[in-house]
Structure 1
Amino acid sequence: MPDLYYVPGSAPCRAVLLTARALNINLNLKLVDLHHGEHLKPEYLKLNPQHTVPTLVDDGLSIWESRAIITYLVNKYAKGNSLYPEDPKARAVVDQRLYFDIGTLYQKFSEYFYPQVFGGAPADKEKLTAVENALKLFDTFLEGHKYAAGNNLTVADLSLIASVSSFEASDINFLKYPNVKRWYETVKSTAPGYEEANGKGLIAFKELVNNMLKK
């Protein structure tokens, strides 16, 4: 059973939980107390020098960055599963959506929202515009498709739904984009174990945000 070092409210951690649930993989969950600096202790740095969550440890391999973890889980435990198709063209689209998530959509959200939550910074209109532009792109990607990378649920959807659901804790109205709204409701209703794997963690994230903004 792989070990997963995680924080429940973290969107990247929730993406891994969603994938494990979809693949029926049991993970040995190890909570990392970021508040007390567990991620900076020598034993954790030995596993992950970047001291981020999630970190997966499986059969001597330590790997971090959620999108690398979720594709690894499919490749090792469910090779050929449609969540990460083997066809090169289909897989390329899934990879592109994963890279769009980490490099554009979730990144722009992080740059806009996290300084407000963790640094007490005021909302930056230019950064909000960057988030909205990313959502417009995502809305375009979804045109004519049920899911993010076509008409089948893939790990791209599981990563993106973890990211986009986090927007619920902010003032970003992502549901005004019709394709995004449709996709969001579709994935929530079709991703295996959605509430257990993502919904509970999203509640924890919202509680964290509320507590931080009250300070």
Structure 2
Amino acid sequence: MPIDLYYTPGSPPCRFVMMVGAATNVEFNCIEINLRAKEQYKPEFLEMNPQHLVPTINDHGFVLWESRAISRYIVNKYDHNSKLYPQDPQTRALIDQRLDFDLGTLCPSFSQFFYPSLFSGIEPNKTQIKKLADALSVLNRLLHGLEFAVPGESLTLADLCLATTISNIDAAGIDLRRYPNIESWFALIKVSAPKYREVNEQGLRDFKNLVKEVLKPKKAALIKTVISKVVFAEGSGKKAKLLKKNSKI
């Protein structure tokens, strides 16, 4: 029987869990939670998840939230020998490191850079801009010489998790061409992850629709200005830019 998945389509963590389900042939009964309508604060949801977070799963009475915990649980229970999360301790440690890098560095750096501008019209400060650029630079270096996010491995949980965050960064209009290792890796994940277009790109359309719905002309101009900021000095000391794409958000 399918696992109940409480989710929001535009959310990278929710799409990560959905891509793990696609890769392990685990079916979900998807129950959308409208965060803007504050459905996460309904008593029945708070009783299940007092942190009122998505994604949340209810696997026939077993409730779990936090996307990375959910993904490991799904693999450990339903696809124990999966290459997504191999048994080798060192390989798992590297996958966990990449997952933690997304949780603690990449995803929050993008959120702090982009969403205040989107929802409140607040331009990010230099520290927030530099944090996002630094996070992308670190990921670019981590991927040097690799096809996938973990050396010597095929597609893993690390790739699926990082790809959902990078896809939102890309969809926001931040040019990945300055990060060639990210760009080539991301292109590979798009064709390697099972049902990528069906699962992740549908959520990206929802994210883009949200951006269009929220943006007013003044905010749209601000977003374009924010994305085109000079943001950091690379190791050589030369300045780099996060360039906006030719295509609109």
TM-score higher than 0.5: yes
SS at match of 2:215: helix
Matches within 5 A, 1:102-181: 102-150=103-151, 151-181=153-183
Structure 2 residue matching 1:127: 3-state secondary structure: helix
Q: Aligned pair 1:205/2:211, yes or no?
A: no
C-alpha distance in structure 1 between counterparts of 2:137 and 2:123, whole Å = 24
2:162 partner amino acid: L
Identity of aligned residues (%): 45
Q: What SS is found at the alignment partner of 1:144?
A: coil
Q: CA deviation at 1:103?
A: 0.3
TM-score w.r.t. the length of structure 2 is 0.83
State the shift of 1:35 in Å.
2.4
Contact 1:147/1:153, CA 8 A, preserved across alignment: yes
Contact 2:112-2:124 at 8 Å conserved across structures: no
What SS does the corresponding residue of 1:43 show, helix, strand or coil? helix
Task: State whether residues 17 and 67 of structure 2, in contact with CA within 8 Å, keep that contact through their aligned partners in structure 1.
Answer: yes
Q: Normalization by structure 1: what TM-score?
A: 0.96
What's the counterpart of residue 89 of structure 1? Answer: 90
Which runs of at least 4 in structure 1 moved beyond 4 Å after TM superposition?
none
User: Per-residue deviation at 1:59?
Assistant: 2.6
State the AA in 1 paired with 2:20: T
- Report the structure, 1 or 2, having the larger helix content: 1
Q: CA deviation at 1:96?
A: 0.2
Number of aligned positions between the proteins = 215
**Structure 1: which 5+ residue stretches go unaligned?**
none
Q: Distance in 1 between matches of 2:66 and 2:88?
A: 24
**How much is the aligned-residue C-alpha RMSD, in angstroms?**
1.2
For the residues of structure 2 that align with 1:83 and 1:113, how far apart are their CA atoms?
30
C-alpha distance after superposition, 1:104-124 (max 9, x if no partner):
001101111111112221243
Q: State the distance in 1 between where 2:20 and 2:111 align.
A: 22
